[in-house]
Structure 1
Amino acid sequence: MRAAPWHRPTAARHGSATPWHRPVRLSPSDLLRLGLIGIRTRRMRAALSALGISIGIATMIVVTGIPASSQRALNAELTALGTDRLQAIADANAAEQGEPASFPPESVAMVARVGPVQAVTAVANTHTVVRRSDRIGELDLSGLTVLAARPNLLDVINAKVRSGRYLTAATDRFPTAVLGSVAAARLGYRDLRPGEPPPLVLIGDRWFSVIGILRTTPLTPDIDRSVLVGWEAAHSQLGFDRRPTQLFIQAHEAAIEDVDAVLPATISPQSPSMVLVSRPSDALAAKRSAEATFSGLFVGLAGLALLVGGIGVANTMVISVLERRREIGLRRALGANRGQIRGQFLTESIALSGLGGLTGIIVGVLATVGYATYKNWPPVIPLNAVTGGLCGAVLIGVIAGVYPAVRASRLSPTAALATT
């Protein structure tokens, strides 16, 4: 028997489904408020769970930030020691019979034309004796070397003046001298006092005024044991022939091996075998080894920290589903579908991990900056660690919340409500 027209659903007569037959879609804001219910009502458990993920993310920031800060300080120290520098020395054993072990006068200009070379300078052994007084016999030697030097020497070898000043273009032609740290100690000079007449040293049979004393130069210990005079002054006063015996080269670090390979033929095209070029310093190898070691350490510790944090969030969400079965059953009985239940618990897991991630980033950044400042390192916070930490926290929330969300959505209303 056909039902009366008034028994039919009103919407059926109009050819459309009733509004209460349509699945209700939650807006993102409603879904977020729903997902935060568990966090607000169980604050202590949420805080402990967020603490776990915070520790994981903070650990990732710290284990990347602190080694990065240390590495930057190490790089600066190694660079100061000369990882981008080479030395070329004239080999006396390879020099021809009777010929001095020296380079052509134009060798400095030739090396400067090499593309990756940033700076080049030269020194030359004048083969003269230095004494503090003419009352000291010529055979009573101090073991010091008198070197003709150019004004840009300190910039290339990264040396500093301890007292007084260095040679300049203005003093290059005058009988002035600068002492290395060891040379100053052996000659009995500690520091130069401003306003007082400069002390004198006897080089050969000429008196030179001491205008500066250098600090110790770890890169070039030979400079510490030398007395430096101007290039032109050495020529006019000491009979120097303007032929360098040692070159100092600063080049781009990435091309240091290539520069090393072409230096002998560039410095002395006729006798490249007499050119001894120092290999890139051991500090360069240590620097590259440290970079590789630090990179592997970053990946391992960060992955372990994220794994621990993810396990903590997953454990919290599973327990949350078990404790809230009656709530799930009531919501299902009131019309919530499985997708909404999944969305609720998945949102809660993501929010929990996100809050923990933000807290961990703040703690990690503060810890890194504090420790780097304590160690006098330049603080370095890798941007990829910060963004990766936040994205990793969200990803952990998704992964850790999938199983509990699916499990919650599969609970039948009757079974869930029957739970005591």
Structure 2
Amino acid sequence: MRILRSLHRLLRQSAGRPAGPGSAASFAAPSVGRQRGPARLATRDVLALGVLRLRVRPMRAVLSALGISIGVATMIVVVGIPASSKAALAQQMDRLGTNMLKVTAEQTGHTPLPEQADAMVARIGPVSSAAAVGNMPSVPVRRNEKVDQGDTSGVSVIAARGDLKDTFEASAWAGSLPERGAGKLPSVVLGPTAAHNLGITSLAPHKGIGPQLLIGDKWFTVTGILRSMPLLPELDSAAIVGWQAAKDQLGFSGHPDTVYLRANESALDDVRAVARATANPQRPETVTVSRPSDALAAKQLTETAFSSLFLGLAGVALLVGGVGVANTMIISVLERRTEIGLRRALGAGRGQIRVQFLTESVVLCLLGGGAGVLLGTAGVAGWALAQSWPAVLPLPAVLGGLGSAVLTGAVAGLYPAVRASRLTPTEALANA
């Protein structure tokens, strides 16, 4: 009865064609002057009719809009998380710099770089610092002599020469970085992964001596643990020893495998062009030059490619939600035949019936879309907080989510609205 009273109140001003005394139309809307058709409903009345049924059956409305909410939330999350990751990457790039080049000797032909390759590269004008590293894959790293030599805990040994702080932008999580001139001392600096694998969590001395490692058959003192270096992930699982100590005690050849350099950003392409011939003048074709920051950018592109797949899943969720809304609206038309017949008898035209049901479908999906935006925003903010990223929510994603919800509601409600408008008063009230 509440619905019928509301309809009677809303339709009192929507008069039909002049009716004779005593007719249903004359009681619903007395004629004032001659009108050719039913009056148009005000926008407020159309919205009121669209929301009225949702208020009467709130649980059905919530369940119907659930699919729309999931689809929009998925869309927001899929767009927002890569955007947050990209912002974090940009901050990381600004902090680490994109002006590092990696000069590497050919591995397949076993052609090493000259012993002074890092010094020759450092003489290039725009180069501000350079450091060389040499791999020693056959040298094991053990906590003590009781550990089998084949059990290296996944830790590789490398020799390093040059300013690690300036070139690698390295910093110590514990202890300190090796000072200049300390390359002859039997000391070692561990990457964070290497320290974890070897079970070294602090550098607290025992009986006045810091943690010891057996590298090859020589004892080295751990003097520092590095922080993770995103541009140089190969150093995270390495035990870094001094250049001269590696030659004197570990049988290192003295030929670097890789030279890292920092150069003026504006001249980076020019440095890249001459670095191969400078690092190995005799065989420049065996040298490759790359920029470590390009790997991080490639990783970001990979994440973006995966996000396209999840956008497809969001579209599927919206489709399923739209089918659910369409099914709900069709059932609503069947349940409300009496209401439709009464409205038609009171003078409502087919267009007004179509607008009523179409508005109801759009409002239902719009509410679901709004809930999806809130859920998606919370998901993006939570994930960004867990990863220590800046939370970024692109405005096009929000507008696209709401727009797709409205479009889904319009498409889902179109057929039920047309079906309702085709019911004649006699047909609609036949089973009342």
Q: By how many angstroms is 1:358 displaced? A: 1.0
Q: Deviations over 1:349-388 (max 9, x none)?
A: 1111111111122223334444555576665545443322
Which secondary structure state, in structure 2, belongs to the residue aligned with residue 356 of structure 1?
A: helix
Of 60, 71, 82, which residue of structure 1 is paired with 2:75? 60
Q: Higher Cα Rg: structure 1 or 2?
A: 1
Is residue 181 from structure 1 mapped to residue 189 from structure 2 by the alignment? yes
Seq. identity, %: 47
Distance 1:95 1:67, change over 3 A: closer
Q: By how many angstroms is 1:400 displaced? A: 0.8
Unaligned runs of 5+ in 1: 1-16, 114-118, 126-142, 199-209, 230-242
Alignment partner, residue 44 of structure 1: 59
Look up the equivalent residue of 2:117 and give its one-letter code.
Answer: F
Which secondary structure state, in structure 2, belongs to the residue aligned with residue 21 of structure 1?
A: coil
1:12-161 paired onto structure 2 within 5 Å: 18-21=33-36, 23-65=38-80, 86-89=101-104, 101-103=115-117, 105=119, 107-110=121-124, 112=126, 120-123=129-132, 147-150=160-163, 153-161=164-172
Look up the equivalent residue of 1:315 and give its one-letter code.
Answer: N
Q: By how many angstroms is 1:308 displaced? A: 0.7
Q: Deviations over 1:313-344 (max 9, x none)?
A: 11111111111122112112212112211111
Q: Deviations over 1:272-310 (max 9, x none)?
A: 246454686995597267325413322221111110111
8 A contact 2:49–2:356 mirrored in 1: yes
Counterpart Cα distance in 2 of 1:295 and 1:65: 10
Is residue 409 from structure 1 mapped to residue 421 from structure 2 by the alignment? yes
Look up the equivalent residue of 1:159 and give its one-letter code.
Answer: A
Q: TM-score, normalised by structure 1?
A: 0.63
Which secondary structure state, in structure 2, belongs to the residue aligned with residue 26 of structure 1?
A: coil
Q: By how many angstroms is 1:48 displaced? A: 2.0
Counterpart Cα distance in 1 of 2:158 and 2:342: 94
8 A contact 1:264–1:276 mirrored in 2: yes
Q: Which moved further from structure 2: 103-112 or 316-325?
A: 103-112
Q: By how many angstroms is 1:38 displaced? A: 1.6
Alignment partner, residue 431 of structure 2: 419
Look up the equivalent residue of 2:124 and give its one-letter code.
Answer: M
Counterpart Cα distance in 2 of 1:400 and 1:256: 56
Distance 1:396 1:246, change over 3 A: closer
8 A contact 1:86–1:279 mirrored in 2: yes
Distance 1:162 1:122, change over 3 A: same
Counterpart Cα distance in 2 of 1:181 and 1:105: 23
1:260-339 paired onto structure 2 within 5 Å: 263-265=275-277, 267=279, 272-273=284-285, 275-277=287-289, 287=299, 290-339=302-351
Counterpart Cα distance in 1 of 2:183 and 2:77: 57
8 A contact 1:177–1:228 mirrored in 2: no
Alignment partner, residue 129 of structure 1: none
Distance 1:350 1:31, change over 3 A: same
Alignment partner, residue 225 of structure 1: 240
Distance 1:161 1:288, change over 3 A: closer
Counterpart Cα distance in 1 of 2:318 and 2:352: 28
Count of aligned positions:
346
Q: TM-score, normalised by structure 2?
A: 0.61
Which secondary structure state, in structure 2, belongs to the residue aligned with residue 180 of structure 1?
A: strand
8 A contact 1:181–1:216 mirrored in 2: no
Which secondary structure state, in structure 1, belongs to the residue aligned with residue 71 of structure 2?
A: helix
Q: By how many angstroms is 1:47 displaced? A: 2.4
Alignment partner, residue 213 of structure 1: 224
Look up the equivalent residue of 1:394 and give its one-letter code.
Answer: V
Unaligned runs of 5+ in 2: 1-31, 135-155, 211-220, 245-254
Counterpart Cα distance in 2 of 1:281 and 1:35: 55
Counterpart Cα distance in 1 of 2:97 and 2:397: 30
Of 378, 398, 401, which residue of structure 2 is paired with 1:389? 401
Root mean square deviation, CA, Å: 5.2
